[in-house]
Amino acid sequence: MNDILDQSDIDALLAATDDGEVEEDRPSIEVFSRTRRDVADIDIRPYDFKRPERVSKDQMSALQTLHESFARNFGASLSGFLRTIVEVKVASCEQMTYSEFISGLPNPTSFNLLQASPLEGQICLELSPLIIYPVIDRLMGGTNAELFIPQRPLTMIENRLITKILERAIDGLQEAWASVKELSFEVDGGESNPHLVQIVPPNEVVVVIGFELKMTTRAGTMNLCIPYAVIEPLMEDLSAQSWFSNVKLKGSPEMKRLIEDELNEAAVEVSGTLARTTITMSDLMDMSVGDVIVTSKSASAPAVLEVEGEAKMFAHLGQHRGKRALRVDRTITSADRH
């Protein structure tokens, strides 16, 4: 074997090393590889084992889309209840530890615990005082012009008023989550100091969906905290494929019947038009009591029954119990429109 050194070669190498003629090989820095020698181009990212990301990006995207639908429905419900325009939109959707979520909340605030049966565990719904007191002021007939935001817990009367808002939030959550699973939400308790409530361990991963609420000149936030342990049974259903397949189920007969019931209760404006004509501006200015307006329509021709400004039926003018009435003759067809 030619690669084996004899004693004279070994003595020569040792002497050269002592004289500094031969540099000793220094061990290279290796990062997860036996071949890398330069760590300047290696992408090293910190990983916190106390805060693992347990929800995938697809599942987070599905959660955000789901709660965007909730935000639209909740905003429409609040607008009708408060008789003013209320805008609700998703501001953020991220996962963090429960301790991080609690540390970012104001004190006092409206911290409400929700139970989502049949899931086990509790969900947090936090409403900022910046939007709570404007809502209460609106419910009491105020204008929010010079509203002072007090730094105190809510009174019993104020909590009672906020319950009306929570009821609409619960209805919106049930409707939004129905595309994934039928859940029954209900309020399980409340607290003004969020640091006194611990529904999961501090290092437990939670999904926090932050909402922004705007009402006239006032704005505030609302946070929905969902522990991972609560929605873990539904995580497979939150994949992109399951999400889009569940959206298609909205055309079910039950949903159709629900929409029909809502439309049947909608009020529409109905008017009867006897005749139409045009006159000049000078004739209009010279018009006085007793003048007769002549139209090209025959006196025996039926009146037109209009629904929200659209001609729908022919009717004859009459009287019923001392009041003007229209008796429907027939529906206007496409041939009549020509």
Model pLDDT, residue 225: 92
Model pLDDT, residue 38: 58
Residue pair 295/288 in contact by the 8 Å Cβ criterion: no
- 3-state DSSP assignment of residue 239: coil
Residue 297: name the closest of 283, 317, 312 by CA.
317
Residue pair 189/166 in contact by the 8 Å Cβ criterion: no
List CB contacts of 202: < 8 A, sequence separation 6 or more: 97, 98, 99
Q: Read out DSSP for 262-278? A: HHHT----EEEE-----
Model pLDDT, residue 231: 87
Model pLDDT, residue 224: 92
Model pLDDT, residue 208: 92
Token pair 């007793």 is found at: 290
What does pTM read for this prediction?
0.56
Domain annotation for the chain: domains and CATH numbers = 57-250 (3.40.1550.10), 267-279+298-338 (2.30.330.10)
Residue pair 95/187 in contact by the 8 Å Cβ criterion: no
Q: What is the 3-state secondary structure (H, E, C) of 142-194?
A: CCCCCCCCCCCCCCHHHHHHHHHHHHHHHHHHHHHHCCCCCCEEEEEEEECCH
Computed from CA positions of residues 7, 12, 15, 16, in that sequence, does the dihedral angle turn out positive or negative? negative
Model pLDDT, residue 306: 87
Residue pair 222/125 in contact by the 8 Å Cβ criterion: yes
* Amino acid type, 43: D
Model pLDDT, residue 248: 47
Model pLDDT, residue 53: 64
Model pLDDT, residue 247: 47
Low-confidence ranges of the chain (pLDDT < 70): 1-5, 17-53, 239-252, 337-338
Residue pair 270/307 in contact by the 8 Å Cβ criterion: yes
Residue 305: name the closest of 274, 337, 269, 272 by CA.
272
